[in-house]
Amino acid sequence: MFIVSSYAAAIVFCIITMLCWGSWANSQKLAAKSWRFELFYWDYVIGILFFSVLSAFTLGSFGTQGRSFLADLKQADGGNIASALIGGIVFNAANILFSAAIAIAGMAVAFPVAIGIALVLGVLLNYFALQQGNPVYLFAGVGCICLAIILNAMAFRKAGSGGNKVSSKGIVLSIVAGVLMSFFYRFIAASMDLQNFAAPAAGKMTPYTAVFIFSVGILLSNFLFNTILMKKPFSGLPVSYADYFKGNFKTHLTGVLGGAIWGIGNSFNLIAAGKAGPAISYGLGQGATLIAALWGILIWKEFKNAPKGTNALLSSMLVAYVIGLGLIIGAK
């Protein structure tokens, strides 16, 4: 299987993760013009599973290093399989709430709040589980990102006072999603041998197998979580499975593409964790907030009618994020 061999390569993979995790929601924005996010989400989940299978039988099976996907799956311990499945279930609960927050409040609001919280708590959880990296640099970087979240909240408040109403429901959903999102990565990481991908301990899984099991957990839990949400949506009227099958090919493909983009980022992040460590890898990946904020501000014009002074706060937020990410990179 393919294994990252250097810290520099791991950082490149984490940056790709950041781009993917910060950009997938554009597919939701594109589909939302005529498609409810509850329906979009089914295609998104299919896209995540599709890429996990593709990567397992390609990058996860080619080459001479490590165990191939099928061999690794066969020897995986039940406890580790359960851990990756739980990771998928926790992620799905968080991501459904997060997707709802995007639909209600927009990318420029949902990403900084939810992913900012997930980044801070997730880095703490993963660092204390496996202490890799300079804690001074790592936590200084997290502190800068906390500052960016505060600046972002100030920008929301200012934008709201200028006529752009910021949904309180969207903010609450973002907060809950962020707290849940901080836990999913630890479950996947616990199912792998992060110290040795080339010769993993017996029962532990490679990143490719763990991602596949994680994706299955997302799909299975979606039959519960998303079915409930379709019947009792956070906004709008209920939708049915019959409505899903009314979507055209282009609409469904948009959702699958969004899931595949997120899946690429997830796989690359876990592959990088072997060299970067889970705290640094996860922290850099969740720099997706910076990418999403740029999409929301520059492309979707979510602060178009904001009053004077809002742009200065947003610029300061972006600078704080960049400094924070730089410190996290310098932690190892």
Residue 107 has pLDDT above 70, yes or no: no
pLDDT tens, position by position, 132-177: 899 999 999 989 988 887 887 788 777 765 555 556 888 889 999 9
**Domain span including residue 295:** 7-329
pTM, full prediction: 0.88
Residue 2 forms part of a structural domain = no
What region, left, alpha or beta, does residue 236 occupy, with left being phi > 0 and alpha being psi -120 to 50 degrees? left
Question: What pLDDT shows up at residue 186?
Answer: 94
User: Closest Cα to residue 258, out of 36, 60, 93, 30?
Assistant: 30
Residue 246 has pLDDT above 60, yes or no: yes
For residues 18-45, average pLDDT: 89
For residues 74-94, average pLDDT: 97
User: 191 and 213 in contact (C-beta within 8 Å)?
Assistant: yes
Scored b (16 or more CB within 10 A) or e, 259-285 reads bbbbbbbbbbbbbbbbbbbbbbbbbbb
pLDDT tens, position by position, 10-20: 999 999 999 99
Residue 1 forms part of a structural domain = no
Question: What pLDDT shows up at residue 97?
Answer: 92
Comparing 21-25, 203-207, 287-291, the range with the smallest average pLDDT is: 287-291
pLDDT tens, position by position, 213-242: 999 999 999 999 999 999 999 888 999 999
Residue 84 has pLDDT above 60, yes or no: yes
Question: What pLDDT shows up at residue 166?
Answer: 59
- Round the average pLDDT of the chain to a whole number and report it: 90
Residue 206 forms part of a structural domain = yes
User: 13 and 4 in contact (C-beta within 8 Å)?
Assistant: yes
Q: How far is CA 70 from CA 60, 62, 219, 295, in A?
A: 9, 12, 20, 39
Residue 316 forms part of a structural domain = yes
Total number of domains constituting the chain: 1
Residue 172 forms part of a structural domain = yes
Scored b (16 or more CB within 10 A) or e, 99-127 reads bbbbbbbbbbbbbbbbbbbbbbbbbbbbb
Residue 315 forms part of a structural domain = yes
Distance CA 37, CA 74 (A): 36
What is the percentage of the chain residues whose pLDDT exceeds 90?
A: 63
Burial class, 10, CB count within 10 angstroms (exposed 0-12 / middle 13-18 / buried 19+): buried
Residue 140 forms part of a structural domain = yes
- Local confidence band at 184 (pLDDT 50, 70, 90 cut-offs): very high
